[in-house]
Structure 1
Amino acid sequence: MKSLSFQIPDQIDLSEYDFKMAMAVKLYETGKISVGQAAEIVNLSKSSFIEVMKNYGSSLLVGYTSDDFANDLKNA
């Protein structure tokens, strides 16, 4: 796994955990990584990551369209 280092201004109240969660959520939302990889970034289980995503304005169903749902129902 790659390691990156960031510097942010002192007046920004952001913990390392919050930064990692925000990045993991965004990378997941954009399809760059899987939910498992996102969970690994913040050292959480998949189920814990999915639960915590809502605190960062996201959910597992980001990008899941009504057409996706209809196809899933048809294939079920």
Structure 2
Amino acid sequence: MNVEANIMFPQEILLTLRESKDEFIKELKVTAAVKYYKDKRLSIGQCAILAEMSEEKFIKYLGEQGISIFNFENEEELLEDIKNA
């Protein structure tokens, strides 16, 4: 089930960005998805849905933004993961 929400913003924003309303909304969704992923509030799958992308495309987008999908708290955790591979 989807939820619809209305947001208001000055038209000047669209003019300054030289984007359509749809392009702006799409970018907002992608930006929110990246933030929620980085903050570990949503999974990659949930973020991909929010960003209206496939998981593969969202992972690729994260890589293009320099955001790793491999999150290790410390070197020991990384070494443990490598050992278990």
Of all paired residues, the percent bearing the same amino acid is: 27
Q: 1:7 to 1:68 in 2, by over 3 A?
A: farther
Measure, in 2, the Cα distance between the counterparts of 1:68 and 1:54: 21
SS in 2 for 1:5: coil
Correspondence 1:4-23 to 2 at 5 A = 4-12=5-13, 13=17, 15-23=24-32
> How many residues get paired?
75
SS in 1 for 2:82: helix
Unpaired stretches in structure 2, ≥5 consecutive residues: none
- Give the TM-score, by structure 1 length: 0.74
Unpaired stretches in structure 1, ≥5 consecutive residues: none
Measure, in 2, the Cα distance between the counterparts of 1:40 and 1:22: 13
- Give the TM-score, by structure 2 length: 0.67
Letter in 1 for 2:26: Y
Q: Indicate the RMSD between aligned Cα atoms, in angstroms.
A: 2.3
Q: 1:59 to 1:2 in 2, by over 3 A?
A: farther
Higher helix share: 2
Q: 1:74 to 1:54 in 2, by over 3 A?
A: closer
